[in-house]
Amino acid sequence: MTILSLRTAAVRIRETRRAVTKRGRASGPSPYFFVCGAGISVPSVPLAWQIQDECRERATSLGLATGSAPSDAAGAYSYWLEQAFPDPEQRRAYFRKAIDGKPLTDANLRLAHLLADGALSSFLVTPNFDDFVARALHLFGEPCVICDHPATTARIDLDAPEPQVVHVHGSYWFYDLVNTDAEIRARAIGLRDGPGMGELLSDLLRARVPLVVGYSGWESDVIMTSLKSRLLQGPLRHQIYWFCYSQSSFDALPIWLREHPNVCFVLPEAPDTALPADRVFDELLRVFEVEAPPITRDPLSFYAEQLRTLVPERAPDAPPDPYFFEDVIRRLQRAARLLGDDARKIEPALEQVRDAVRRGRYAQAAKRANAVPLKSLRKEQLRDLLDALWAAVTRGGRTPKEELELHEAFLRIVDERPRAPVEKGRLAGVLIARAAALLASGHPQLALDAALDAPRRLGDAAAKMPRAQHRLGRLRARALVELGRRDEALEVYDSLETRFARAVEVRLRASAAGAARERAELLVALGREPEAEAGLDRVVARLEGSVESRLQRELAAVLDARATLRESRGKPHEAQADRERAAKLREAAPPNGSLRPPALDT
């Protein structure tokens, strides 16, 4: 199997796209299409395990359940959904309630940006029921072709340049969406009396290969069935790229897929981290140098042009327009000219920063922000600049050097304009990320200095931010370990345990458990294994019975750490028991979304 970093995969995809293009980037058929699953719609739409839990609770409370649930994930999901909502129309109503009116996610917007541009691909296959991608495309002014039933596959032209979206399991608008295990298997087989989803995907896979993002790969559905059939037919012309949210997501994929020579996998670069869908799309936007959508560059002119397309000018002898759309268009055009004049005087530098962020070029955003003359900016313009940089700071997947460039650009504004309207939660997030980036860059002394300096910068607000205090303490301890000052590091960890061991807030409890694992590793390095095991025992006792997924995953990590320690101390049976418990916890509480760092406002 081939494992790649996100950056390497993105560059390889770009070079393959260029290689099959005859003249320039925009011409020639793409060798790729997207396959995107539920991971692109989190958190607006619940994941399968969350739906399963909700359905199990409903079915149990109402006494609807009959028989027993299958042991496999897909079977259990199908079972509880059908027990809670036996009729197809009930299921459609349930999903409509879960989806209708929910906001578009960053991943859907980023994907629509790529599809609208078309440089990489304009074709999407998805098992999702929501219409988020189509809505995002319409927001960007791009019409798209929708196929959401086997009877509508004739709408699809594999060579058409416009965006096309295929919902292989249907959409939430109609009664015939496919959800249960039997329905999924039937859809995979296709319609006997005409072309079905399976036939469409077979045609597509003969000509192109998928870029898979946010999709877990249920073996019985039409996507996996078609892909397996194609892989068994012989080698592919191009490599498939499968972007895995986590290591456990990769481990759950079938052997026939993981070991195929034509499939490359992209995993998170560090253990116990994640690779969310929006980060994948960010990197693809950056590598393909996709321009920002017109609506974000000149919104008034964009809407005027959209109206002009929908409401063409009338002939002189035509009856008058009863809605006066011509007047609306003229008013938009006039406002665009006035705004353009103001922007040319005041905001060109700010717009360059925003444009770099929209295109996913975050290091360039930092460089452009540093070139902005801060003294001439009004309060609202300072806020706009900070907002643009914060949007860049919250994205992941960059090198520590690029991270530091963004942090320094943000802090430059705070230092040069002390009264800039910066939220303390965002400032705390930047200060913590800066210390972490310095540590990751191999500069533990600078990281220690940054962590010690952060409370001064935060002032009185630091006392009201227990999570920020805890994370800065962990960074101080880790930096001291790197500097060889282990006894001092242990004192910091002991202080954190004393102050935060009984924390109530979920994220703070999870951070405290992580610090306890780091403390145990340090004690082992100091030759104090019994103390390390005792400390992990205390954490396990505190986390026992937690119902929150985050805490259950943290408990699994603590159990794994204790298992390793017990093995080294000659306790193989206890170690095996810990590993088995950890595996069950991870299966019951999978990650449920992006790990983007929020502002630390509590």
Both structure tokens of 210? 């998928």
Task: Tell me the per-residue pLDDT of 296-319, one tens digit each, with 9 for 90 and over.
Answer: 877 888 888 888 888 777 777 777
Enter the pTM of the model.
0.68
Phi and psi of 385, rounded to 5°?
-65, -45
pLDDT at 227: 95
pLDDT at 27: 52
116-130: average pLDDT: 93
Q: Are residues 316 and 336 in the same domain?
A: yes
446-474: average pLDDT: 92
Q: Are residues 165 and 301 in the same domain?
A: no
pLDDT above 50 for 213: yes
Task: Tell me the per-residue pLDDT of 136-186, one tens digit each, with 9 for 90 and over.
Answer: 999 999 999 999 888 788 888 888 889 999 998 887 665 444 554 555 455
Classified as helix, coil or strand, 166 is strand
pLDDT at 94: 85
pLDDT at 593: 37
Both structure tokens of 391? 């949007």
Which range of residues forms the domain containing residue 335? 294-346
Q: How far apart are CA 338 and CA 301, in angstroms?
A: 11
Query: Using 50, 70 and 90 to split pLDDT, how confident is the model at 589?
Result: low
pLDDT at 25: 44
CA 26 to chain centre: 27
CA distances from 180 to 227, 393, 463, 499, 541 (A): 20, 41, 51, 49, 39
> Please, are residues 34 and 123 in contact by the beta-carbon 8 Å criterion?
yes
Q: Are residues 94 and 236 in the same domain?
A: no
Pairing outcome for strands 263-266 and 240-243: parallel
pLDDT at 301: 82
Q: How far apart are CA 407 and CA 412, in angstroms?
A: 8
pLDDT at 24: 46
pLDDT at 129: 87
Task: Tell me the per-residue pLDDT of 33-65, one tens digit each, with 9 for 90 and over.
Answer: 999 999 999 888 887 778 888 888 898 888 887
Both structure tokens of 184? 């999924």
Q: Half-sphere exposure (CA, 13 Å, Cβ side) for 484?
A: 0
Q: Are residues 180 and 126 in the same domain?
A: yes
pLDDT higher at 89 or 4? 4
Task: Judge whether 518 lies within some domain.
Answer: no
Q: Are residues 84 and 113 in the same domain?
A: no
Q: Are residues 179 and 124 in the same domain?
A: yes
> Please, are residues 599 and 426 in contact by the beta-carbon 8 Å criterion?
yes
Task: Judge whether 195 lies within some domain.
Answer: yes
Q: How far apart are CA 262 and CA 121, in angstroms?
A: 19
Task: Judge whether 299 lies within some domain.
Answer: yes
Query: Using 50, 70 and 90 to split pLDDT, how confident is the model at 574?
Result: very high
Q: How far apart are CA 137 and CA 114, in angstroms?
A: 10
Alpha helices in 140-196 (DSSP H): 181-189
Q: Are residues 253 and 113 in the same domain?
A: yes
Of the listed ranges 27-36, 327-336, 487-496, 587-596, the one predicted with least confidence: 587-596
Q: Are residues 317 and 186 in the same domain?
A: no
Q: Are residues 29 and 64 in the same domain?
A: no
Task: Judge whether 400 lies within some domain.
Answer: no
Q: How far apart are CA 415 and CA 401, in angstroms?
A: 21
Domain boundary among 326, 346, 366: 346
Task: Judge whether 263 lies within some domain.
Answer: yes
Domain boundary among 81, 99, 117: 99
Task: Tell me the per-residue pLDDT of 243-282, one tens digit each, with 9 for 90 and over.
Answer: 999 988 999 899 999 999 999 999 998 777 889 999 999 9
Number of domains in the chain: 3
pLDDT at 194: 38
| Cα distance from N-terminal residue to C-terminal residue, the chain | 44
Q: Are residues 83 and 163 in the same domain?
A: no
Long-range contacts of 61-68 (CB under 8 A, 24+ apart): none
Task: Judge whether 539 lies within some domain.
Answer: no
pLDDT at 198: 86
139-164 burial by CB neighbour count: b if 16+ within 10 A, else e? ebebebbbbbbbeebeebeeeeeebb
User: Where residue 117 sits, what CATH number does that domain have?
Assistant: 3.40.50.1220
Q: Are residues 175 and 270 in the same domain?
A: yes
Q: What whole-number percentage of the chain has pLDDT above 90?
A: 46
Task: Tell me the per-residue pLDDT of 217-242, one tens digit each, with 9 for 90 and over.
Answer: 877 788 999 999 999 998 999 999 99
Q: Are residues 259 and 305 in the same domain?
A: no
SS3 content of the chain, % helix, strand, coil (to 5): 60, 5, 35
> Please, are residues 52 and 116 in contact by the beta-carbon 8 Å criterion?
no
Task: Judge whether 361 lies within some domain.
Answer: no
pLDDT above 90 for 516: yes
Over the chain, what is the mean pLDDT?
85
- HEC letters along 505-568: CHHHHHHHHHHHHHHHHHHHHCCCHHHHHHHHHHHHHHHCCCCCHHHHHHHHHHHHHHHHHHHH
Task: Judge whether 560 lies within some domain.
Answer: no
Q: What whole-number percentage of the chain has pLDDT above 70?
A: 90
Q: How far apart are CA 285 and CA 279, in angstroms?
A: 10
Task: Tell me the per-residue pLDDT of 388-407, one tens digit each, with 9 for 90 and over.
Answer: 898 888 876 677 888 899 99
Both structure tokens of 134? 């189509």
Of the listed ranges 102-111, 465-474, 582-591, the one predicted with least confidence: 582-591
Domain boundary among 272, 287, 302: 287
Query: Using 50, 70 and 90 to split pLDDT, how confident is the model at 113?
Result: very high
